[in-house]
Amino acid sequence: MKTIYIDFTNIGDYEDFYAQLKEKITLPEYFGDNLDALYDVITGDLEMPLHLEFVNMTVDQLETFEDLLTTLEDADEELEDFTFSYYLEQYEDEDEDEDEEDETEDQE
């Protein structure tokens, strides 16, 4: 199964998303930058099997791209050979880092 990763680190809006998507996937010339067109391409034009994975999303992006996530989840449910997942960016807990430093100092 082919996996396509979309890194949301530098995506702020739908224009940024579609620009990165076009770098990763060959879309038909008639593709319009909208969710209906994306759903149509996924359900009819893309070579399957395919897994689309969004990485490094922020909590704010979950809200901004809520309709996009819903559209892709719908396609995931509809198609047998298409899967979709997304992951939030990882933050290190500063308290954990301090605790680890304290434990190291205590051991010395």
> Does pLDDT of 107 surpass 80?
no
Per-domain residue ranges for the chain? 2-88
**pLDDT tens figures, 64-99:** 999 999 999 999 999 999 999 999 997 665 555 555
Contact 55, 4 (CB under 8 A): no
pLDDT of residue 102: 53
pTM confidence score: 0.80
Calculate the average pLDDT of the chain. Answer: 89
- Residue 35 burial (10 A CB sphere; 0-12, 13-18, 19+): middle
Q: What's the topology of domain 2-88?
A: Barnase; Chain D (3.30.370)
